[in-house]
Structure 1
């Protein structure tokens, strides 16, 4: 069978796998995007889940904080923000009592120009907009029941009404992103972010991609949201082209759970059995650097159950024209002469803040090999972090079939946002 999928911004890859060797093609299936996104958002705001409408929740004298994601995420921010403002002003809230908080987490501050692109020029210039600082101006809310420190943005806590906007998509720690994560990570202090991105959390068997039930990280987010007293969330489900499929607004937890239930029906795909080889394509823009491109292996091994055989192969076609991406993981992994030494260091002694990517990659490599294809990064650089490289994806397929003519292939055209689930 010939299979074609997006590889780069302006280029597709076409491969051929014999029918007898093709186990399945696992691809997220979204409904058609809504014809009128504004109408869908208004419907969601007018029919909130387990919550009062925003206009019934506020009065003209209260301070309102609207929390939005930063430039690394797209959430229809200008459109959603304008509709939220319309709702708030209808309830009598004055412009000077509304402000926006950019949920940066540990990322750099956004420039005024970037904020204009994110929220639109009108909002950026007529309303107060603040970049979060994870090291300063924080409020200490104590610790969670699991012992995680809860430090959060001071301006958020000064608001009488707290609104957050996010996108629902698979997430390695939280099961699915969106909901209160925008606040509980995006507006958290460095100590909070570091402790929840630690060996304790990532090695916990309850921390799984695509799983929100009994997930230690998600439980922390929900507990912190209650401590912070988040009032209202807007959760968007976007397809692979970033077009709106559905919106879920209302109660911070219950609206999120409804959104996840819907998203699961789109991105979680049944596969009949584990494969010898999984071809997982990150697609553009995840393909621009190695840090992002290797996320295509996460859903293969770290989802509900691995879908590649132990000691199997994960093939990732990605150009990686921008190189390694964040280099903290590479610096750490390449400092070890052997993979066993690296495993011992990360699995027993843990890792510093910002090094969790090294731990994730090492966990995957402990289970299966990662082979990059159609990649601009030199072989010698990849070998230093225990990855392999083949010139083209088709060459990789042909070599595997030459060694094992009965090898079974699972193909994931959008490996980052598709969660394969073993049947039975």
Structure 2
């Protein structure tokens, strides 16, 4: 059986045994009229009056978008949003690129994300979590987290957060309040909400909001600086919009999460010897940091001592910016990295991604098929798999004669889990 796996802007094809299980998200038809549905959602929102009725032409508006590491269709939803806000002069609108602790996006990237016309006519600000002069302290949240937030966001009369909803590997789901924090948060806030105890909590996981300490911490933080309006979308594999959820930033997000949970999670009976995963191609697999998400999705259903093959192009490297690369090289094995990160006095931004990767590696061997040189893959404490088919064939021999194999072509977009055994009545 031949299976295609997203890789960068293309795909890799691999031959797997006929008994292998290929797991896809439940197909949802794209909206027939994306623009019309989007505008209707703004005019008939969830737990809110229509967007246009909440604003006046004198208001200064901040629109928060997700950065280029996310597949949010900003090039469509931002123009439609501006269309609905046409009575507000563009000189009174600022677009805040919610980078969190990621690097700033270049002008060329912003043009790809938003279109030339918007980039030339509206002020766009890349959030900088490391610039104290661009942040404001709001004190501590109910969870005891120090809250620092983008100054331009707080200065706006009306704040709109956009984004898309998918399962998230430790916050439960993306979108919603995550667009504000960590999207527009200071690094102190981001680190506190990504601490080793929180990341290591068993409830900080895929597709879970109730009892998830990271989701609760984010909600507590955003209560100090809530957006006045939210509009999130759901997407199919080709970035067609399948749903629009607008209105109150908590209630509309919860409705969207419930829909995603219904379509993007799938149960299996037992763990597998070998799991092949992706990060669903570009932009999600643009670097190894982001591609850890696909590994953690595979870890949901790989057996202890099994093997994961991650297929991710990583055109942007590990990357070079941030501390991910540095952290990976601070110890020589995953167990030692976990010991370091869990020390009470240790704190370094990006440690959460290294912690998640190391936790996967404690469970299974992780092979990476990417554009990275073998020595770079080794430096990231992973096993290089330049020959994808050859690596799988070797693993089949190791775990044979008939190893159990699962393939996650969509990577973190479709989250599997091992169903709890049922007890006889």
TM-score by length of structure 2 reads 0.88
Once the two structures are superposed, residues 354-383 of structure 1 have per-residue CA deviations (whole angstroms, 9 ceiling, x without a partner) of 3332212111111111123476531x5434
Is the contact between residue 170 and residue 177 of structure 1 (CA under 8 Å) also seen in structure 2? Answer: yes
SS in 2 for 1:195: helix
Deviation at 1:246, TM superposition (A): 1.1
User: 1:412: Cα distance to partner?
Assistant: 1.0
- The 3-state SS of whatever aligns with 1:348 is coil
Go from structure 1 to structure 2 and tell me whether the alpha carbon gap of 1:351 and 1:26 turns closer, same or farther (over 3 Å shift). Answer: farther
1:342 aligns to what? 337
Q: 1:126 to 1:339 in 2, by over 3 A?
A: closer
Partner of 1:330: 325
Question: Which residue number corresponds to residue 358 of structure 1?
Answer: 354
Give the direction of change, closer, same or farther, for the CA distance of 1:373–1:80 in structure 2 (3 Å limit): closer
- Give the aligned partner of residue 99 of structure 1: 94
Cα gap change, 1:121/1:374 in structure 2, threshold over 3 Å: closer, same or farther?
closer
**Are the equivalent residues in 2 in contact too, given 1:30–1:267 (CA < 8 A)?**
no
Partner Cα distance (1:10, 1:88) in 2: 37
Q: Deviations over 1:216-267 (max 9, x none)?
A: 1211222222211311101011111111111111110011011111112221
| Structure 2 match to 1:194 | 191
Pair 363,252 (structure 1): closer, same or farther in 2 beyond 3 Å:
same
Q: Which residue of 1 aligns with 2:150?
A: 153
Q: Distance in 2 between matches of 1:105 and 1:352?
A: 15
Number of equivalences: 414
Deviation at 1:339, TM superposition (A): 4.5
CA distance in 2, matches of 1:160, 1:141: 17
User: Matches of 1:288 and 1:108 in 2, distance apart?
Assistant: 13
Is residue 267 of structure 2 the alignment partner of residue 270 of structure 1? yes
- 2 CA distance for matches of 1:351 and 1:387? 23
Report what 1:119 is aligned to. 114
Matched, 1:37 2:31: no
1:418 lines up with 2:414 in the alignment: yes
| Per-residue deviation, residues 107-165 of structure 1 (Å, max 9, x unmatched) | 34444454444333333333333332322232211111221111111222222221111
Distance (whole Å) between structure 1 residues aligned to residue 36 and residue 127 of structure 2:
31
**TM-score (norm: length of structure 1):** 0.89
Aligned CA RMSD, in angstroms, stands at 2.5
Q: Distance in 2 between matches of 1:412 and 1:217?
A: 26
State the shift of 1:167 in Å.
1.0
Residue equivalent to 2:23? 26
Hey, what's the Cα distance between the residues in 1 that align with 2:10 and 2:90? 43
Residue aligned with 1:13, SS: strand
- 2:423 aligned residue: none
Gaps of 5+ in 2: 421-425
Which SS does the other structure have where 1:191 is aligned?
Answer: helix
Give runs of aligned pairs for residues 365-376 of structure 1, distance below 5 A.
365-373=361-369, 376=372
1:69 Cα deviation after fit = 1.9
Partners of 2:111 and 2:316 in 1: CA distance: 26
CA drift at 1:66:
1.4
Deviation of 1:62 (Å): 2.7
Counterpart CA distance in 1 for 2:113 and 2:242 is 20
> Is the 1:7–1:13 Cα contact (8 Å) retained in structure 2?
no
Identify the range of structure 1 (145-154 vs 121-130) with the bigger mean alpha-carbon deviation: 121-130
Residue 230 of structure 1: aligned partner: 227
CA distance in 2, matches of 1:110, 1:7: 22
Post-superposition shift, 1:289? 4.1
**Pairing of 1:45-124 with structure 2 (within 5 A):** 45-90=42-87, 93-124=88-119
Q: Are 1:300 and 2:298 matched, yes or no?
A: yes
Q: Which residue of the other structure, out of 390, 404, 408, is the alignment partner of 1:408?
A: 404
Match of 2:160 among 163, 166, 170: 163
Go from structure 1 to structure 2 and tell me whether the alpha carbon gap of 1:276 and 1:288 turns closer, same or farther (over 3 Å shift): same
Q: Which runs of 5+ in 1 are unaligned?
A: none
Q: Distance in 1 between matches of 2:317 and 2:126?
A: 28
Cα 1:319–1:75 shift into 2, 3 Å: closer
**Corresponding residue of 2:377:** 382
Q: Secondary structure at the match of 1:399?
A: helix
Q: Which moved more, 1:60-69 or 1:256-265?
A: 60-69
Give the secondary-structure state (helix, strand or coil) at the position aligned to 1:416: helix
Deviating runs (4+, > 6 A) in structure 1?
A: none
Q: For residues 160-193 of structure 1, give each alpha carbon's deviation from its aligned partner in whole angstroms, at most 9, with x where no partner exists.
A: 2211111112222321111121112121112111
**Post-superposition shift, 1:391?**
4.9
Give deviations 1:292-339, integer Å, cap 9, x for gaps.
Answer: 4443211122xxxx3111121112234556543347333333343454
Aligned partner of 2:311 in structure 1 is 317
Confirm or deny that 1:291 pairs with 2:285: no
* Partner SS state of residue 246, structure 1: strand
